[in-house]
Structures are given as structure tokens and as C-alpha cells.
Amino acid sequence: MDRQGLRKGASLVEVRPSRIQHRTRPAIFAMSNPTKNAECTLEVAFSILGDNIIFASGSPFRDVDLGNGRIGHCNQGNNMYLFPGIGLGTLLSGSRVISDGMLQAAAER
């Protein structure tokens, strides 16, 4: 997984589009709590990155109307479950890269 973290006080706007434009489903994990401290909102993520993102947050966000009958959903990505699982899976597999397919396979189990 090609990832780019945001420093404190940064916004999703600072992520270079060239790093994500070739991704079919960029994953955004806005984990800061409370909601007012989130790295970005669901609406901002969809507006900057397009309709095919995977967005998970530790804070609650209302769904976003994307137009044309499409709705952007916020998935619950609680810190207690998400990051330890991804980290442990990476260590156990010995992988240096986490692909979209690996995350998809883990989500389907």
C-alpha cells in the first residue's frame, strides 16, 4: 500500500494527486477523535478523491449525496480494531507492501 500520512494540522488537500490517481479505490482512514479533530471529513474526501474511495473513520459522519443517485458512506474504522489488525497481518506475512487485494481479502473473511 502506498500511503502518505498527514501531519498534525494538515488536510487531505495536501496529499499529492499523483500518489493516488492511479489507484482504483484509494483508502482514507481519518482516525482522529473527536469529530472536530478528524484529518478530513467524508464530504471533503469524496470531493477531492472521487466517488470510488474507501473511507473509514473513528468519528461518526453522515452519508454524503454524490449526485446521480449515488451515496458516499462512512465506514466505522475503530482504532482498536483497524490498525492492530493491519499491523499484525503485515508482520506475520512479512510483506513490505499491503495491496488493495490484501485488504479486500481480509475484509471478506
Residue 13 has pLDDT above 70, yes or no: no
Helices 79-93 and 100-108: crossing angle in degrees, nearest 10, is 120
Q: Is 90's pLDDT higher than 90?
A: no
> Mind listing the domains of the chain with CATH numbers?
1-77 (3.40.50.720), 79-108 (no CATH)
Q: Where are the alpha helices (DSSP H) in 1-109?
A: 17-20, 42-49, 79-93, 100-108
> How far, in Å, CA of 27 to CA of 60, rounded?
17
| Distance of alpha carbon 6 from alpha carbon 78, whole angstroms | 18
Looking at residue 49, its pLDDT comes to 82
List the grid coordinates of 106.
Answer: 481480509
pTM to 2 decimals? 0.61
